[in-house]
Chain A
Amino acid sequence: MHEIVELLQKDARLSPEDIASMLNKSVDEVKRLIREMEENGTIIKYCAVINEEKLETKKEKVVAFIEIQVTPEREKGFDAIAERIYQFPQVRSLYLMSGRYDLLAVVEGETLKEVAFFVSDKLATLDNVKSTTTHFLLKKYKENGTMLFQQPKLERLNVTL
Chain B
Amino acid sequence: MSRFNRRVEQIPPSGIRRFFDLVLDAKDIISLGVGEPDFVTPWQVREQVFYALEQGRTSYTSNWGITELRQETATYLNTRFGTRFDRDEILITVGVSEGIDLVLRTILNEGDELILPEPTYVCYRPLTELAGGVVRAVSTPSLKVTADAIERAVTPTTKAILLSYPCNPTGYTIDKTEILKIGEIVRKKGIWLISDEIYAELTYEGEHFSVGALPGLKEQVIVLNGFSKAFAMTGWRLGYIAASRDFLTQAVKIHQYAALCAPIMAQYGALESLRRGIAEMEEMKKSYWRRRNYMYDALNSIGLSVAKPEGAFYIFPSIHSTGKTSEEFAVGLLEQEKVAVVPGDVFGMGGEGHVRICYATDFNLLKESVRRIDRYIKAAKK
Q: Which A residues fall within an 8 A CB radius of B?
A: 7, 11, 18, 21-24, 154, 156-161
In the bound complex, do residue A159 and residue B340 qualify as a contact, i.e. CB atoms below 8 Å apart?
Answer: yes
Q: Given A156-B36, A158-B340, A160-B35, does the pair A21, B24 have CB atoms closer than 8 Å?
A: no
Q: Which residue on chain A has the smallest CB distance to residue B121?
A: A161
Contact of B23 among A7, A156, A159 (CB under 8 A): A159
Q: Given A22-B290, A22-B291, does the pair A158, B297 have CB atoms closer than 8 Å?
A: no
Q: Which residues of B contact A160 (CB under 8 A)?
A: 33-36
Q: Which B residues fall within an 8 A CB radius of A?
A: 20, 23-24, 26, 29, 31, 33-36, 38-40, 121-122, 168, 290-291, 293-294, 297-298, 340, 342, 346, 363, 367
3 shortest interchain CB distances as A-B pairs: A159-B33, A22-B290, A160-B35
In the bound complex, do residue A161 and residue B346 qualify as a contact, i.e. CB atoms below 8 Å apart?
Answer: yes
In the bound complex, do residue A21 and residue B121 qualify as a contact, i.e. CB atoms below 8 Å apart?
Answer: no
Q: Which residues of A contact B29 (CB under 8 A)?
A: 158
Contact of A159 among B291, B297, B298, B342 (CB under 8 A): B342
Q: Which residue on chain B has the smallest CB distance to residue A7?
A: B290
| CA A114 to CA B29, docked complex, whole Å | 51
Q: Which residues of B contact A157 (CB under 8 A)?
A: 24, 34
| CA A156 to CA B232, docked complex, whole Å | 12
Q: Which residues of A contact B35 (CB under 8 A)?
A: 160-161
| CA A23 to CA B290, docked complex, whole Å | 6
In the bound complex, do residue B33 and residue A21 qualify as a contact, i.e. CB atoms below 8 Å apart?
Answer: no
Contact of B40 among A18, A24, A154 (CB under 8 A): A154
In the bound complex, do residue A156 and residue B293 qualify as a contact, i.e. CB atoms below 8 Å apart?
Answer: no
**Highest count of chain B CB atoms <10 Å: which of A23, A156, A158:** A158
| CA A158 to CA B26, docked complex, whole Å | 8
Q: Which residue on chain A has the smallest CB distance to residue B301?
A: A21
Q: Which residues of A contact B340 (CB under 8 A)?
A: 158-159
Q: Which residues of B contact A7 (CB under 8 A)?
A: 290
Nearest-neighbour CB distance to chain A for B170, whole angstroms, equals: 13
Q: Which residues of B contact A156 (CB under 8 A)?
A: 31, 34, 36, 38
| CA A11 to CA B363, docked complex, whole Å | 11
A-B contact sample (5 more), CB < 8 A, given A159-B23, A159-B342: A18-B294, A23-B290, A23-B293, A158-B31, A159-B24
Q: Which residues of A contact B290 (CB under 8 A)?
A: 7, 22-23
| CA A84 to CA B23, docked complex, whole Å | 63
Q: Which residue on chain B has the smallest CB distance to residue A160?
A: B35
| CA A119 to CA B293, docked complex, whole Å | 53
In the bound complex, do residue A18 and residue B33 qualify as a contact, i.e. CB atoms below 8 Å apart?
Answer: no
**Highest count of chain B CB atoms <10 Å: which of A21, A157, A159, A161:** A159
| CA A161 to CA B123, docked complex, whole Å | 9
| CA A159 to CA B33, docked complex, whole Å | 5
Q: Which residues of B contact A18 (CB under 8 A)?
A: 294, 363, 367
In the bound complex, do residue A159 and residue B293 qualify as a contact, i.e. CB atoms below 8 Å apart?
Answer: no
Nearest-neighbour CB distance to chain B for A19, whole angstroms, equals: 9
In the bound complex, do residue A159 and residue B31 qualify as a contact, i.e. CB atoms below 8 Å apart?
Answer: yes
Q: Given A21-B294, A159-B342, does the pair A154, B38 have CB atoms closer than 8 Å?
A: yes
Q: Which residues of B contact A154 (CB under 8 A)?
A: 38-40
In the bound complex, do residue B122 and residue A161 qualify as a contact, i.e. CB atoms below 8 Å apart?
Answer: yes
Q: Can you list 20 A-B pairs with a CB-CB distance of less than 8 A?
A: A21-B294, A22-B293, A22-B363, A23-B293, A154-B38, A154-B40, A156-B31, A156-B38, A158-B23, A158-B24, A158-B31, A158-B33, A159-B20, A159-B33, A159-B34, A159-B342, A160-B34, A160-B35, A160-B36, A161-B342
| CA A158 to CA B32, docked complex, whole Å | 8
In the bound complex, do residue B297 and residue A21 qualify as a contact, i.e. CB atoms below 8 Å apart?
Answer: yes
| CA A147 to CA B294, docked complex, whole Å | 27
In the bound complex, do residue B367 and residue A21 qualify as a contact, i.e. CB atoms below 8 Å apart?
Answer: no
**Highest count of chain A CB atoms <10 Å: which of B31, B36, B290:** B290
Nearest-neighbour CB distance to chain A for B178, whole angstroms, equals: 25
Q: Which residues of B contact A158 (CB under 8 A)?
A: 23-24, 26, 29, 31, 33-34, 340
Nearest-neighbour CB distance to chain B for A141, whole angstroms, equals: 14
| CA A7 to CA B289, docked complex, whole Å | 13
Nearest-neighbour CB distance to chain A for B236, whole angstroms, equals: 15
